[in-house]
Each structure stands twice: as C-alpha cells, then as structure tokens.
Amino acid sequence: VYGNSDFSNTVSVTVQIPVIPNPPILSTFNPLIDTDGNVNVQWLGSLDVTSYDIYRNKDGSSYILIRNINSFSYTDSGLLDGVYRYKIKAKNIVGDSGFSNIESVTVQLPKPPQGIPILSLVSPALSVDGNNRMKWTAVPYATTYEIYRSKDASSYVLIKTTTSTSYTDSELLDGIYNYRVKAKNIDGDSDLSNVLYFRVEISEESVDISSEKLITTENLIILMVGMILTIVILVFWLRRRK
C-alpha cells in the first residue's frame, strides 16, 4: 500500500537581509586635555558592522582617514600640540553608514622653559652702597627663576627663587660678585644665563661724609633749641621788669 508519511518536524529560519549600518556614537573624550600625545577614541557600534573608518582633523584642517578597525576603540598615538577632532563611519557588505557625531580633544604636551634668561644691569657694575640691582628677560613657560651668586671666584650658590624678572642683592660687603639665573617649571629647567659682574667697594670717605652730616645736623638742632630757650628767657625777663 502506498501513501504519504506524516510531516516532519518544523524548522524555522530567520532571514535577515543586510542593511546599511546606523552611524556609530562617538564617546566624549575624558579628559578633554591630553598631556601625553596618546588619545583613546571610543564609540558605540552594532553587530551588523564589519569594520569602522576613523577620520581625524587637526586645528580645523580637512578630515583624513587614519585607520580602519573592527573593534570599538582606537588609540591615536604620537600626537603633537593641537586641537584634534574625530568622526567615525561604520561599514558592512551593503555599504557605509553616515558619519558619527564629532568629538574633539586638545593635546598639550609638557614643556620645559623655552629659552635662556638674559641678565643685564640695572645699577652700575661698580656698587658703592652694597646693593646690586639686576634684571633678566622672561622665558616662555617659566614659572619661577633661580638666582645663583659667586663671590670672589667661589662656587655658585642659590640665593633666591622668585617669580619676578628682577632682583636686588642687598647689604653686600666689598668684593667681586658674579650672578647667573635659571628658568624653571614643573617639567624642567633652562640652561644657566650669561654671567653678570658686579664689584662692591663701599667707600670709607662716603661713610665719613655721612657721619659729618649727622654731626652737623645734631649741632644745628642743639643750636636751634638754645636759641629758642634764650628767646623765652629774654621775653620772661622783659615782662618781669614791666
């Protein structure tokens, strides 16, 4: 006897026709300022994507394709100072998505002071009052300056750290003084500046003259007081006679 069997078990099949992927969502950079030149780019994608094209521009220039990758992150390395903007496109066998949102990050690499201070005189190189006045040029990226001094050809020693670009070394004794300055910040130091030379000779004659002036002033005060007392006594005596 011939006939038909019962139906087999049922098998279901889902047919998914590939479509163009949706644009990825680019994550905001954190932090927004990068200090090592390595920027980590991350995004949200979908499973129907085979790869992603990463585009970048610098300081407003045209976007260029820098990498095709099949993951959800990429580290862009070796970057120099500037503002970098990124956008991403998803790809599959059907085609490309539109571009993602654009996110930007600023690269600011650490910089030691850019240059060397140039020392110059404010007061004469021959000092007769024991005060050596000097100034120097500002150095880009410097936050402080170190002042070094040598007396009579001895070793240089640090005498002052300052944020200013001028300094007065005071109450010095006779001798030959040399100065150098170094610019500093958290990332490094500049080389030492040129050498600035002072000779201190505090004149004994000027000290004697000052003493004479002091004595003359004291004598004048005594004389004036004596004259006033004399006048007072004279007025008092004249009134008594009346």
One domain for residues 125 and 193:
yes
Asked whether residue 20 is assigned to any structural domain, the reply reads no
One domain for residues 177 and 139:
yes
- Residues in contact with 91: Cβ distance below 8 Å, sequence separation at least 6, in sequence order: 21, 49, 50, 51, 52, 53, 68, 97
Asked whether residue 88 is assigned to any structural domain, the reply reads yes
Which of 78, 107, 136 corresponds to the end of one domain?
107
Q: Is the pLDDT of residue 168 over 80?
A: yes
One domain for residues 132 and 103:
no
One domain for residues 101 and 136:
no
Shortest CA distance to 103 belongs to which of 35, 153, 136, 57?
Answer: 57
Which of 44, 74, 107 corresponds to the end of one domain?
107
Asked whether residue 217 is assigned to any structural domain, the reply reads no
Asked whether residue 10 is assigned to any structural domain, the reply reads no
One domain for residues 102 and 30:
yes
Asked whether residue 143 is assigned to any structural domain, the reply reads yes
Asked whether residue 218 is assigned to any structural domain, the reply reads no
Distance, C-alpha 35 to centroid of its chain: 13
**Which residues lie across from 67 on neighbouring strands?**
54
One domain for residues 33 and 72:
yes
**Which range marks the domain in which residue 95 is found?**
25-107
% of residues, the chain, pLDDT over 90: 73
Per residue in 83-101, pLDDT (tens digit) is 999 999 999 999 999 999 9
The tally of domains found in the chain comes to: 2
Asked whether residue 84 is assigned to any structural domain, the reply reads yes
One domain for residues 123 and 88:
no
Q: Is the pLDDT of residue 214 over 50?
A: no
Calculate the alpha carbon distances from 173 to 96, 129, 130, 166, 208 in Å. 81, 9, 6, 21, 17
Q: State pTM to two decimals.
A: 0.59
Q: Rounded CA gap, 62 and 40, in Å?
A: 21
Asked whether residue 233 is assigned to any structural domain, the reply reads no
